[in-house]
Amino acid sequence: MIITPIEQEILNYLKDNPGVSKADVVRHMRDNQKASKMTVFDYLGELESKNMIYSKKKRPNSQSYMMYVNDDNRILFILLELDKFKQAYSLLLQKTKEAMDKKDYSESAKALGLTGPDRSKWSLEDINKYYEFEMSKLDEFERAILESSDQEKHALEEQYFKKYGDNIGFLLFSPVRLFYTVVDIIFYLSMLRWPNQIKDEKVLSQIYSITYHKIAEIQLQLSKFIESTIIFDPERVIVQGRKFPPEVLSVIIAVYEMSGISEIENVINSLRTLNEDIKELTLLRF
């Protein structure tokens, strides 16, 4: 079962505005040029039949109905939270790309003997030189993180930011680490929790279908981001991002926040919500 973009929009609206009327939903969709009145009614009926939303009268003798999402529906919960993650992650990738594009490579190009500061004109040799340069700083960064206590990490956050905040490797690998984190959470939920919580195999299959379809959409966003950077070989980015230890997550958050990339907060909030059922596994180290 796949949720259409119009259904997703309706669900998001009802989640943010519980108790609105059908007329309110129609108005919202028409004002945003999403769908006509009849189309909205059709989708509302479809969502009700899927047990994702429900309506109830304002008063016993009222002809007006209030609309709500069904918070007990596990499919809906996962769907909405993953969609929140997807939207926040998309903005995070956009801001990360902007930060990379603003970076001045003049000093590094001069120190390393590269062709020039314009990375789009670098040769393969230039790229490899710069990659090794960035990786040497990241290796130092990882060692510092792994050898520090939680208290020391917090005290050194500003120092880490000044030293690694504009590190291209860090800006490239951090989104990959975040992507693998949400994939790990969904994997553990699907293996350790959902089969015990949901005995209906049809419903369980629907949850698997929806969640991994959404993961595929998020992966496509990441793939486009990596391709747009034209600086490192994608294979290197993906492998190194996966190698980032979980302990690095707290510093990733700090560096993004001090860079003014506030979108990291919504990404982290979604990860925390999705992780709630398996928090004892300590997948999130922040």
Are both 101 and 207 inside the same structural domain? yes
Q: Does any domain span residue 286?
A: no
What percentage of the chain carries pLDDT values higher than 70?
90
Are both 136 and 197 inside the same structural domain? yes
- How do residues 51-86 score in pLDDT, each as one tens digit? 889 988 877 777 778 899 887 777 778 888 888 899
Are both 167 and 215 inside the same structural domain? yes
pLDDT, mean of residues 90-98? 92
Domain boundary among 27, 42, 69: 69
Are both 44 and 78 inside the same structural domain? no
Q: Does any domain span residue 191?
A: yes
Domain boundary among 69, 97, 122: 69
Residue at token pair 């669900």: 11
Candidate ranges 56-65, 146-155, 216-225; pick with highest mean pLDDT: 216-225
- How do residues 32-53 score in pLDDT, each as one tens digit? 888 888 998 898 998 888 888 9
Are both 226 and 98 inside the same structural domain? yes
Handedness of CA 273, 170, 184, 280 (dihedral sign): negative
Show the DSSP H helices in the chain as ranges: 5-16, 22-31, 37-49, 74-102, 106-112, 124-146, 150-155, 157-164, 168-188, 194-197, 201-229, 234-243, 249-258, 263-275
Are both 106 and 227 inside the same structural domain? yes
Rounded to two decimals, the pTM is 0.76
pLDDT at 1 over 60: no
Q: Which domain holds residue 205?
A: 74-281
DSSP conformation class of 245: -
Are both 127 and 155 inside the same structural domain? yes
Are both 173 and 103 inside the same structural domain? yes
50 neighbors 202 (Cβ within 8 angstroms): no
Separation of alpha carbons 85 and 181, rounded Å = 12
Q: Give the pLDDT score at 261.
A: 83
Are both 62 and 101 inside the same structural domain? no
Q: Give the pLDDT score at 154.
A: 62
Separation of alpha carbons 176 and 185, rounded Å = 14
Candidate ranges 131-135, 196-200, 272-276; pick with highest mean pLDDT: 272-276
What is the chain's mean pLDDT, rounded? 83
Q: What is the number of structural domains in the chain?
A: 2
